[in-house]
């Protein structure tokens, strides 16, 4: 498998991960005057367990650190 590429997509308020040009997952966020709030993370089922979610989180949090903003995570579990 090719490396996971994560890029910001500010026009859609998200960070997106791709593998071989295919969207593998993303994290959405909202921006306030003081915070960046990560509201939703999704990994395509075909790419689950391959480190996509971790790569997105690492990239997004590193990017937030560079901008000197504060990040907040909203955690919601899927009901089964």
* Residue 9: per-residue pLDDT: 95
Query: Is 57 a member of any domain?
Result: yes
Q: What percent of the chain has pLDDT over 70?
A: 82
Q: Which domain holds residue 38?
A: 5-73
Query: Is 64 a member of any domain?
Result: yes
Which whole-number Å values give the CA distances from 21 to 3, 16, 30, in the listed order?
11, 11, 25
> Alpha carbon 68 to chain centroid distance?
18
The pTM score is 0.81
Looking at residue 48, which CATH number applies to its domain? 3.40.630.30
Query: Is 79 a member of any domain?
Result: no
Report the number of distinct structural domains present in the chain: 1
Query: Is 26 a member of any domain?
Result: yes
Query: Is 60 a member of any domain?
Result: yes
Q: Which residue is listed with tokens 């997004």?
A: 60
Query: Is 58 a member of any domain?
Result: yes
Q: How many CB atoms lie within 10 A of CB 29?
A: 22
Q: Which residue is listed with tokens 């909203």?
A: 74
């Amino acid at each position: 498998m090719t490396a996971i590429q994560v890029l910001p997509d500010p026009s859609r308020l998200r960070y997106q991960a791709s593998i071989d040009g295919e969207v593998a997952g993303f994290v959405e966020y909202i921006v306030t005057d003081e915070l960046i709030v990560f509201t939703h993370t999704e990994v395509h089922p075909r790419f689950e367990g391959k480190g996509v979610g971790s790569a997105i989180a690492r990239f997004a949090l590193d990017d937030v650190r560079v901008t000197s903003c504060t990040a907040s995570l909203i955690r919601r579990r899927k009901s089964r």
